Amino acid sequence: MGVFASNQMFFTVLIAWLVAQTIKVAIGVAAEKRFNFRWFVGSGGMPSSHAATVSSLTTAVGLTYGFASPFFTIVFFLAFIIMFDAQGVRRQSGHQAEALNQIIEDIYLNKGIQQERLKELLGHTPIQVFIGAAIGILVALFCYR
| Segment 74-125, tens digit of pLDDT | 999 999 998 888 777 666 676 677 777 777 776 666 565 556 665 555 567 7
What pLDDT is stored for residue 37 in this prediction?
75
More confident residue, 28 or 18: 18
If you average pLDDT over every residue of the chain, what do you get? 82
90 close to 14: Cβ distance less than 8 angstroms: no
pLDDT for res 95:
66
What sign results for the dihedral spanned by CA atoms 25, 26, 31, 37?
Answer: positive
Predicted confidence at residue 1, as pLDDT, reads: 57
**Amino acid 108: pLDDT:** 67
Q: pLDDT at residue 60 above 60?
A: yes
Please state the rounded mean pLDDT for residues 35-56.
82
Query: Confidence class of residue 52 from pLDDT cuts 50, 70 and 90?
Result: very high
pLDDT score at 121: 55
Query: Which residues, other chains included, contact 143 with Cβ-Cβ below 8 Å and sequence gap of 6+?
Result: 8, 11, 12, 15, 60
